[in-house]
Structure 1
């Protein structure tokens, strides 16, 4: 929504939501227990909740910011406050040094503030030119990728057994590891045999849009087949919730869940409620032996899903004992594809590194982005890294808002990245690199040439090198 077109009702609604999420809700939850960490968690809720409520109320399509602040609000603010006040912590952190909880919450507050500063300063600069229409989808390539993706997915389903995909997560994982031994190989197979279909689904929506622009009727048969196969293979019963959630939310967004300001408000609010309520409830299907039907929202915030702040605390503990890694853990992210038998000293995922250093009997734990920055560069990297992250988030969102103002449609990664961002924020980055690379490669493969008129689209406000107006738009908020 462009500056000057926001209605008084939108401003009033944004103000009310900002006061609710950043004022009333933290005040109702704060009990005075939990000491300094709980007090800092309230500060995080006030800071982040005010911004999140304002964004939802205004109704601009800033999906990257929605995801970032929603994750921070729920996992690093709300869950932290409940855990510190009740002294009930995640089972994924069987022991930790409570002396570092203060530092952990200071890291969250400082990191969030640095990101918010990056967002605000990025909004002050000139917005990068965005095409009036997004790059076309190459129809020939997307049909090739659809055929390949469906064949690979069929092979995957035959190997693990179609019925296994509807069982618990533990049973599906056991079937996957039995066919493709090794965690790394299993993760690679699952990503390559499923995720390209998400790009194909969104790409086929783009193909239909292009056909409509040419006056040709859209085609829905292949789109329906790809959508059904994808939802079956990556269903929320047997697939990790972050994985299936990225697929479902990206599909919904591409289908129009954020097409209008009112849809933005409804979808963003549902996303916030879903992470708080539905996300822990979906864990009922993880294990064999029955489905857990009892559910208490506040109690769920102390489960293993919400261990982010304690892992940040552990990272501060590890730095105090072992020192800073000075980028060693980050080195493994761009080099994730190098086999460990070729690089014996290849760094483990930071979550696994934290678990090993803490002596935990398991290594499948999270490593939030804040913990990644702390372990790799201490407090300076935390501040600089979160500032740069906020800047990048704002620029990505500005591009999407501009395209919407000009009647264009975002590309596949524009719809996928905001929801995949939750995986990146939760960490570990090394674990998330493979899936991201598959999505990016598939999106790059189907890109076609830019549509006619995308270069130098005439919009008042800026003059191009040839004397014509080119796109420029600065949003606020």
Structure 2
């Protein structure tokens, strides 16, 4: 019974056939759709798909308006359509969004700008037909990725048959201790925190001096492997430990009142600011750290997901090329000349299509396809060359050596890696599989973050890391990217459990 002055409660309408009675109000539940409003979505599509590619194509330059140029324009527009679909989607598709962001920038807009200006950031030794074939294969890979994602949608989402992976509290403490020790060793070996805020050139020199690595880039030997291990173990465990503790604090009010969680988290924040800052690390690795941290802090925010893709596009076009100043010291630093508005896109960071064309020329020069050998070398990166005498070299360095350069900073995009190993048909089928797995991973991530908001949800941390690191995997080479993947797998195996431990769960 309602009290005096208080309106009577209206019970929920009973479920019955025939609809509501006359005059009765019924609350219709409308499913929420995380899409942009029309005033924002229309300018986004018009800019990304139409205005930006056409503006680049209309710029004056000495480049040829041939078949390759028009193919590059098609690639840019196609990737732009798919990127807009990711931004406007009602679901958070982290891995697919990262793929299309990279595809639009590195394989679409940047090669189009280079073609317009008639300038290549990396010399292309073969004929124009090889660049045309590389562009066509890039488009085939993108379409195959879409086909794989479409096939994943046809499979209904089944229920988890086994207990999902969770974080074991005791093992997480071990990871935190190990992260402190490994990062501390890296800082001490390099001479203190100050060197991490100088330049990447200074970091490389300090690593070579600490581990006895050969001075030449790409040189082999135990010192070179020691440098990679020291840097990998000094950066990856610290990042993952920070992400797991951040997930714990974001999802548990009790954890935010525990000094035993807050103090290690604060210390890891400082350590990551030292060892994973954008000055001493490759920009793609720093992008991985920030991408993973962003979606760990905001695991269920569709607004943050859309903002990350949209702002990532703007930052990559306007800011990313100018951060090259951190690569060298004051003597070796080269200022970026901007005679054209397209000049920031004609830099070595966007040499992926050029290196794909060089890979095609490299194979046609008598080297042929490797039939899985390069992929096996990347998967078995931990096998020393003393045991595996014919272990394949890094693909970018291999093609670069054929080109006559000893630079170790040449990319080898995933398209080139798969084409060199398996040919055009194998590359296409591989991208179908990659698209399928990416869509399934994104789908499971959305379901698990909605159904399981617990602090120990491993997938809620792994997928943002994978999405961020996919920029490195797509840029290549795979052998260079494999080391940190191996270390991350070891760290995840340490903290993950599939058993129910009430006392060991994060609360």
Range of TM-score over shorter length: 0.7 to 0.9
> 2:301 matched to 1:260?
yes
Corresponding position of 2:198: 167
Match of 2:155 in 1: 125
1:439 aligns with 2:488: yes
Cα gap change, 1:452/1:25 in structure 2, threshold over 3 Å: closer, same or farther? farther
Contact 1:61 1:264 in 2 (8 A): yes
| 1:15–1:57 Cα contact (<8 Å) kept | no
**What is the aligned partner in structure 2 of residue 475 from structure 1?**
none
| Partner residue of 2:379 out of 325, 334, 337 | 334
C-alpha separation in 2, matches of 1:52 and 1:132 = 34
SS at match of 2:115: helix
Name which of 380, 385, 395 aligns with 1:350: 395
Larger Rg: 2
Residue 325, structure 1, aligned to residue 370, structure 2: yes
How far is the alpha carbon of 1:121 from its aligned partner?
1.7
Q: Deviations over 1:92-149 (max 9, x none)?
A: 4374443311101001111111111111121121124359996432121111111121
Structure 2, unpaired ranges of 5+? 1-28, 214-222, 503-507
Partners in 2 of 1:344 and 1:41 — Cα distance? 40
Deviates more, 1:354-363 or 1:367-376: 354-363
Deviations 1:162-214 (A, max 9, x none): 22111111111001011112332211110012210111011112333675479
Per the alignment, do residues 9 and 64 of structure 1 end up closer, same or farther by CA in structure 2, a change over 3 Å counting? closer
Residues in 2 aligned to 1:130 and 1:51: alpha-carbon distance in whole angstroms:
30
Return the TM-score normalized by structure 1. 0.87
- Tell me by how many angstroms 1:151 deviates: 1.4
Q: CA deviation at 1:295?
A: 6.3
Question: 1:195-210 counterparts in 2 under 5 A?
Answer: 195-208=236-249
How many pairs align? 450
Where does residue 44 of structure 2 map in the other structure? 17
The answer on 1:312 being equivalent to 2:339 is no
Aligned with 1:274 (options 307, 315, 325): 315
What TM-score does the superposition give when structure 2 sets the normalisation length? 0.82
- Deviation, 1:395, is 0.6
**Which residue in 2 is equivalent to 1:474?**
none
Structure 1 residue aligned with 2:137: 107
* Conserved? CA contact 1:23–1:50, under 8 Å: no
Q: Distance in 2 between matches of 1:3 and 1:302?
A: 48
2:229 paired with 1:188: yes
Closer, same or farther in 2 for the Cα pair 1:121/1:106, shift >3 Å?
Answer: same
Change (3 A) 1:345 1:294: closer
Give unpaired runs (5+ residues) of structure 1: 454-477
Contact 1:88–1:302 (8 Å) recurs in 2: yes
Higher mean alpha-carbon deviation, 39-48 vs 320-329, is at 320-329
Change in CA separation of 1:97 and 1:341 when aligned onto 2, cut-off 3 Å: farther
Q: 1:13, 1:57 within 8 Å by CA — same for their partners in 2?
A: no
Q: CA deviation at 1:158?
A: 1.0
Partner of 2:427: 382
Shift of 1:449: 4.2
Tell me, what secondary structure is at the counterpart of 2:370? coil
In the aligned structure 2, how far is the partner of 1:195 from the partner of 1:373?
Answer: 26
The yes-or-no answer on 1:427 pairing with 2:469 is no
Deviates more, 1:140-149 or 1:213-222: 213-222
- Are residues 132 and 343 of structure 1, via their aligned partners in 2, closer, same or farther at CA, if it must alter by over 3 Å? closer
Does the C-alpha gap of structure 1 residues 138 and 295 become closer, same or farther in structure 2, counting only changes over 3 Å? farther
Taking a change above 3 Å as real, the CA distance of residues 214 and 350 of structure 1, as seen in their structure-2 partners, is: closer
Per-residue deviation, residues 395-420 of structure 1 (Å, max 9, x unmatched): 11101111233353643212211000
Say if 1:94 and 1:360, in contact at 8 Å, map to a contact too.
no
- Kept in 2: contact 1:18–1:51 (CA 8 A): no
Distance 1:9 1:95, change over 3 A: closer
Structure 1 residue matching 2:147: 3-state secondary structure: helix
Worse overlay, 310-319 or 402-411? 402-411
Aligned to 1:411, the other structure's residue is in SS state: helix
Query: Compared with structure 1, are the counterparts of its residues 335 and 75 closer, same or farther at alpha carbon in structure 2 (3 Å cutoff)?
Result: same
User: Conserved in 1, the CA contact under 8 Å of 2:186 and 2:234?
Assistant: yes
Counterpart CA distance in 1 for 2:158 and 2:210 is 47
Question: CA RMSD for the aligned pairs?
Answer: 2.7
Question: Closer, same or farther in 2 for the Cα pair 1:215/1:308, shift >3 Å?
Answer: closer
Matched, 1:302 2:337: no
